[in-house]
Structure 1
Amino acid sequence: MSDSASRIPTVDLRPWLSGDPEARAHAARTVDAALRTAGFLLVTGHGVDPALRAAIRESARGFFHLPAEAKRAYAVKVGGRGWLGPGAEANSYAEGTAAPPDLKESLSFAADDPTGDEAVDAEWFTPNTWPRETPGLRDLVETYLRRMRSLSDRLLELLGAALGEEEDFFTRHTGHPTWGFNINWYPGRERVGEPAPGQFRIGPHTDFGTVTVLDRQAGRGGLQVFTEEGGWEDAPFDPAAFTVNIGDLMERWTGGRWQSGRHRVLPPPADAPAEELMSLVYFYECDPGTDVRGLDSHTYLRGQLDAITVEAGNE
Structure 2
Amino acid sequence: MKLLNVPVIDISPFRKGTAQDKQEVVARLVDQACRDIGFPVISGHGVAPDLIERTRAVSRAFFDLPAQRKLKVARPAVDVTRGYTGVNEESLARSRDPEAYGSDLNESLMIGPVDPPDPAYANAPAAGKHFAPNIWPEDLPELQAVYTAYYREMGKLAEELMRIFALALGLPEHYFDDKVDRHISRLRVRNYPAQKEAPQPGQIRAGAHSDYGSLTILYAEDKPGGLQVCNANGDWVDVPIRPGCYIVNIGDLMARWSNDNWVSTLHRVVNPPAGAGAESRRQSLVFFHNPNYDAEIANLMPSQAAKYAPTTSGEHLRSLYVKTQNA
Q: TM-score, normalised by structure 2?
A: 0.88
- Matched residue count: 306
Q: Does 1:218 align with 2:222?
A: yes
Q: Which amino acid counterpart does residue 45 of structure 2 have in structure 1?
A: H
Q: Aligned-pair distance for 1:121?
A: 4.9
Shift of 1:16: 1.1
Give 3-state SS (helix, strand or coil) of 1:40's partner: coil
Cα drift, residue 219 of structure 1: 1.9
Corresponding residue SS for 2:87? coil
Q: What's the offset of the Cα at 1:71?
A: 1.4
Q: Deviations over 1:222-279 (max 9, x none)?
A: 1001112251011111011100000001001011110012210112431314310110
Gaps in structure 2 of 5+ consecutive residues: 299-309
Q: Do 1:114 and 1:126's aligned partners in 2 also have CA atoms closer than 8 Å? A: no
Q: 1:187 aligns with which of 180, 193, 218?
A: 193
Would you say 1:51 and 2:50 are equivalent positions? yes
Aligned to 2:292: 287
Provide, for residues 98-144 of structure 1, a one-character-per-residue CA deviation record: whole Å limited to 9, x for no partner: 22111111011012414424234551112111111111111111111
Please say if residues 6 and 33 of structure 2, whose CA atoms lie closer than 8 Å, have aligned partners that are also in contact: yes
Asked if structure 1 preserves the Cα contact closer than 8 Å seen for 2:257 and 2:297, the reply is yes
What residue identity is the alignment partner of 2:113? A
Q: Scaled by the length of structure 1, what TM-score is found? A: 0.91
- C-alpha contact (below 8 Å) 1:60/1:134 kept by paired residues: no
1:28 matched residue in structure 2? 27
Kept in 2, the 8 Å contact 1:111–1:125? The answer is yes
Q: Structure 1 CA distance, aligned partners of 2:19 and 2:62?
A: 47
The one-letter code of the counterpart of 1:309 is Q
Unaligned ranges ≥5, structure 1: 311-315
Aligned to 1:68: 67
Amino acid across the alignment from 2:60: R
The CA distance in 1 between the partners of 2:170 and 2:3, in whole Å, is 25
5 Å-filtered alignment, 1:214-293, equals 214-229=218-233, 231-274=235-278, 275-293=280-298
Taking only aligned residues, the RMSD between alpha carbons, in angstroms, comes to 2.0
Deviations 1:186-237 (A, max 9, x none): 00112xx321222121110110110110000012211001112251011111
1:307 and 2:307 matched: no
Name the stretch that deviates more: 21-30 or 216-225: 21-30
Shift of residue 5 of structure 1?
8.3
SS in 1 for 2:229: strand
Match of 1:147 in 2: 153
Q: How far apart are the structure 2 equivalents of 1:183 and 1:51?
A: 17
Look up the match of 1:313: none
Identity %: 34
